[in-house]
Amino acid sequence: MPTHTSLEAYFASHPNLTSSTFQDYFSDFSLIKKHNPEVYDRSVEFWKNVIMETSRKGLLGEDRCIIEGPEKLSEKLEYLETEPTLDCVFQELPKSGLIAPLHSFSTTLTRISSSSFLTSSLNSFLYVLASPLRSTMSFFTPAPSFSDSLYVIMPTLESLAQAVDKHYQIITINKEVYNVTERLFTLKEFKEECRAVVGELSDKDWEVFIQYLEIGKEWIITAVIDGVKIIKFLPKDKPAVREITPTDKGIISMKSTRTTLLEQISALEEQIKEAQRQAQKYIHRKQRLPALHRLKQKKDLTDLLHKRQESLDTLDDILLRIDSAATDVEVLEAYDLGRTTLSNIHKDADITPETVDEKLDALRDILADQEEFDQVIKESGELSGLRIDEEELEAELRKLEERDEEWNRGKEKKEQERAEAKEKKVEKVNDIDKDLEQIIEELDALSVPSHPLEVEDRITNSRVNTEKLTRLPAF
């Protein structure tokens, strides 16, 4: 969450905020509108830019496309111990098209769209400042009581929309057509796809952003089917039916099934690895029966994985065929556009009965396959009906046992080598101890000499013993 510290750092580094301008901007400048309009306009413009920039950077709250009214915004600035007059700023912002009241946002978009107000690019926000467009913004509903109002930030929405549009241009740049399956998303899929280019947005941000794309830009259409919101991108280069068709519903259902299959395949692969680890553990403990049980479980899971993979491959093939069929239809329509009306195209003019029958048969096959896929998924991992090849399991078990025995033999060999090395070291130490004992005995045998020659002999013997000591190996 944004803090006073982050806002304080923002104002501290603001290039237009100096000691001489602080008093102008952080005061009740609404009182000087008539007798000092220059300072008033400069103060309003300063706060316009501040509100736009801080909201875009996420300094005003978790929402990037929505801001609270002047009263709530002033509360965030209480640490400055001054109260700038923001009511007049929020009166000016809608006039310039920078914000729109949330409660009338849909109506606002409809009016703007019908008057061709929105353009396809941001143009550095100049579209909201151009004088011919100021009359268009008179359609905005007058701002209600500021104390409990929320406002949508129009430039932020336009910036996000352009980022999404550029993203789809990049991923389809090498394709002759925009495949029909790539135009359809669930709300969850749409968020995941767009998050890479628009960043993190709150739930309220997503709601107004989708409304903006659908009503303001007319790039998408939406519908709620069985409690799931569906989003469809419309082709820009030709007219299109603005509805979610039964074919679209079938494609969405298949794409959802495909997502489910991918999740199941990933889960099955992890379960197979775990069953293999468990089997190896039991074999190492010489517990043959539980090891065999784990191998049976692994076999069951592997068979189920193959079924899921086959279903996924079939589903991918069907989706590819749908895209190919959609391409063929678009080619036929392109030939007809020059001499028929849109209504004739919708009736498949000049398309032979054979091609119509083929498409209908393909659609029936798709729907039938879809029901079969749904039934397969509902099995939810039932393993009781799968046949187990006992000989195959026994062979795998023997391989694991042989591998474990080989590992044990290697372990025993290493332990034996370590024991032999230790024994040799002990023998070496014992030999040294014997030499020391002998030297000590010889030293103990020495007595005080009574004759000079005897002293000399004993000195000689002592030197010999000393040389023996120096020749003892270190350990």
pLDDT tens digits along 366-391: 545 545 555 555 554 443 443 445 66
In the chain, the amino acid numbered 320 is L
Instruction: Confirm whether 210 is domain-assigned.
Output: no
Report if residue 408 sits inside a domain: yes
Give the torsion sign (CA, 209, 215, 220, 221): positive
Distance CA 401, CA 472 (A): 51
**Residue 473 burial (C-beta neighbours within 10 Å; 0-12, 13-18, 19+):** exposed
Instruction: State the pLDDT at residue 269.
Output: 93
Question: In terms of Cα–Cα distance, which of 277, 314, 328, 322 is closest to 298?
Answer: 277
With beta carbons less than 8 A apart as the criterion, state whether 403 and 411 touch.
no
Residue 146: pLDDT band by 50, 70, 90 thresholds? very low
Task: Let me know if residue 228 belongs to a domain.
Answer: no
Same domain as 448, residue 377: no
Structure confidence by residue, pLDDT tens digits, 34-80: 888 888 888 888 888 888 888 888 788 888 889 888 888 777 776 65
Give the chain's domain count: 3
Residues 6+ apart with CB under 8 A from 462: 446
SS3 16: coil
Distance CA 118, CA 123 (A): 11
Using the predicted structure, report yes or no on whether residue 354 has a pLDDT greater than 80. Answer: no
pLDDT in tens, 167-213: 877 655 445 445 777 888 999 999 998 998 998 899 999 999 999 99
Does 169 fall in a domain?
Answer: no
**For 29, which DSSP code?**
G
Domain end among 127, 149, 171: 149
3-class secondary-structure state, position 66: strand
CA angle (442, 448, 452) in 5-degree steps: 110
Residues 40 and 9 in one domain: yes
Same domain, 32 and 89: yes
Residue 117 main-chain phi, psi, to 5 deg: -75, -45
Q: What pLDDT shows up at residue 139? A: 36
Please indicate, yes or no, whether residues 368 and 420 belong to a single structural domain of this protein.
Answer: no
Comparing 245-249, 251-255, 281-285, 392-396, the range with the smallest average pLDDT is 392-396
pLDDT of residue 416: 76
- Does some domain include residue 135? yes
Whether 140 has a pLDDT exceeding 80, the answer reads no
Phi, psi for 225 (deg, rounded to 5): -125, 120
DSSP H or E run through 425: helix 390-444
Please state, in angstroms and rounded to a whole number, the distance separating the CA atoms of residues 56 and 122: 15
Q: Helices marked H in 96-177 — which ranges?
A: 105-114, 131-134, 154-171
> Does residue 381 share a domain with residue 404?
no
What pLDDT does residue 369 have? 57
SS3 245: coil
CB atoms near residue 88 (< 10 Å): 19
- Structural domain contains residue 226: no
**For 423-438, what is each residue's pLDDT tens digit?**
777 677 677 767 677 7
Considering 85, 119, 149, which residue would you say is the last residue of a domain? Answer: 149
Same domain, 322 and 404: no
C-alpha–C-alpha distance, residues 67 and 55, integer Å:
7
The rounded distance, in Å, linking the Cα atoms of 290 and 277 is 12
Same structural domain for residues 44 and 15?
Answer: yes
Q: Which of 64, 68, 72, 79 is nearest to 7 (CA)?
A: 79
The reply to whether 56 and 135 lie within a common domain is yes
pLDDT for position 4: 53
| Tokens found for residue 27 | 């005061």
| Highest mean pLDDT (candidates 4-8, 337-341, 435-439) | 435-439
Does some domain include residue 355?
yes
Query: Do 63 and 77 fall into the same domain?
Result: yes
Residues 251 and 345 in one domain: yes
- Domain holding 456, by residue range, is 393-470
Shared-domain flag, residues 318 and 403: no
The band of 230, judged by pLDDT with boundaries at 50, 70 and 90, is: very high
Provide the b/e sequence for 254-290 (b: ≥16 CB within 10 Å): bbebbeebeebbeebeebbeebbebbbebbeeeeeee
Which pLDDT does position 55 carry in this prediction?
Answer: 83
For residues 34 and 68, membership in a common domain is answered with: yes
CA distances from 376 to 137, 202, 320 (A): 55, 36, 21
Is 207 a domain residue?
A: no
The per-residue pLDDT for 61 is 80
CA distance to 5, 290, 298, 302, 394, per residue, from 388 (Å): 66, 16, 11, 11, 11
From 130, 149, 168, the end of a domain falls on: 149
Partner residues linked to 232 by β-bridges: 184, 221
Instruction: Please compute the mean of the pLDDT values over residues 387-401 and round it to a whole number.
Output: 64
